[in-house]
Amino acid sequence: MGRLRFTTAGESHGPGLVAIVEGLPAGLEVDRGRVDRDLARRQLGHGRGGRMKIERDSVEVRSGLRHGRTLGSPLAVLVANRDYPNWEERMNPWPVEAEVAASHLPRPGHADLAGLQKYGFDDVRNVLERASARETAARVAAGAIAKELLAALGVSIFSHVIRIASVAAPSPHRLDPEDFAAVDESPVRCLDPASSDAMVDEINRRRKQNESLGGVFEVRAFGLVPGLGSHVGWDRKLDGRLAQAVASIQAVKGVSLGEAWEVAAAPGSESHDEIFWDESRGWYRETNRAGGLEGGMSNGEPLIVRAALKPISTLTKPLRSVDTVTRKPAKAMRERTDSTVVPAAGVVGEAMVGLVLADAYLEKFGGDHIEDVQAALAAYRRRIDWRR
């Protein structure tokens, strides 16, 4: 990222998770309730495990905010791990008197073995604690701040689940922000009630078989102006930036932008979005197969990003592995786990898309104060005669 930068720190069962966001303009109002609401939404979803009964995530701001408004300095937030007291000996940052047993049983599909080899560890926990998707709580906190900035610029972001395992929901081509009003009321965050029920049944059936499940979520962003990103350099293309950010989410194995796989099988006449002009509407399209992206830039249509998640690597019935000390066959280690995290991953997807879009807006419109950004955006809209 260029103008807006963020990083996270922390381990799954350590004292807490930290996110630092740098590059925010001063004067941006941040609503703590909305940030905490996103953290709570990340914990939603039928198929979550016992950890969600322990954690009640909320944000603690350590710097960069005064009386609810940004200062223009780095904003640091902490999400405490309530489960840490149960792990204090095993995950204490400092030496402890108790003998802590090491694990030598890497899990297939996880970072365990490659992490041991890369960093020279002999204990799988040194890898899995950071590789864990618990880290995404910090991303959601940072993303919620980015979404506050985007909201001040007229942009809103939503997500929904379109597949869990073999159950796929109908994919609506047109959605508006109000269509997402009740998405979190679905136990799997699916917009189609019948598909939601079928997904719950599939999770229950597979859970009894000691299986984990993957799926697909979709993120949509509304209110974008054309011209975010650029065609002039590979690293400035907005689609590439979005794909990298979303693919970095744990368990994501594929990212598509717009109707990627559909148009790959269609002729050109059925793959692109024809351009129209109307005096009242200005520039518009009747279709959005490109998902709001053309030539590495936003084109003013709603942004559509989809991500495919593999099933969780930790199974209640462990897969075959090898003890890294004895080199003998063994079952992979058992760790507390979920049956599926696809509904929660959609919220993480919102955060990552929000962080990329916030960076793109600040890159294009700059400004040390939020009013500077808004003024530059308003001038740009007038220049291109953008009427939405």
Which amino acid appears at position 157 of this protein? I
Q: Is the pLDDT of residue 169 over 60?
A: yes
Reply yes or no on whether the pLDDT at 55 is more than 80. Answer: no
Share of residues in the chain with pLDDT > 90 (%): 90
- Report residue 261: phi and psi, to 5°: -75, -30
The torsion angles phi and psi of 304, rounded to 5 degrees, stand at -130, 120
Please compute, for residue 325, the number of CA atoms within 13 A of its CA located in the half-sphere on the CB side: 8
Q: Which fold has domain 5-97+104-383?
A: Chorismate synthase, AroC fold (3.60.150)
Q: pLDDT band at 47, cuts 50/70/90?
A: confident
Dist CA 159 CA 184 (whole Å): 10
51 pLDDT more than 60: no
Cα–Cα distance measured from residue 94 to residue 251, given in angstroms and rounded to the nearest whole number = 31
More reliable by pLDDT, 126 or 316: 126
Using CA atoms, how far apart are residues 141 and 60, in angstroms rounded to an integer? 10
Q: How confident is the model at residue 336 (pLDDT cuts 50, 70, 90)?
A: confident
Better-predicted residue by pLDDT, 196 or 334: 196
Residue that has been written with the tokens 């970095």 in this structure: 248
CA dihedral 201→207→212→215, nearest 10 degrees, is 0
Q: Are 285 and 301 in contact, with CB atoms under 8 Å apart?
A: yes
Contact 50, 336 (CB under 8 A): yes
Please identify which residue in the block is written with the tokens 């009013």: 371
Neighbour count for residue 93 (Cβ, 10 Å) = 8
CA distance 71 to 88: 35
pLDDT of residue 48: 63
Judged against a pLDDT cut of 70, whether residue 49 lies above it is answered with: no
Instruction: Pick the range with the lowest mean pLDDT from 45-59, 236-250, 288-302.
Output: 45-59
* Interval 318-326 mean pLDDT: 96
Give residue for tokens 């058992």. Answer: 334
- Between CA 229 and CA 2 the distance in angstroms is 11
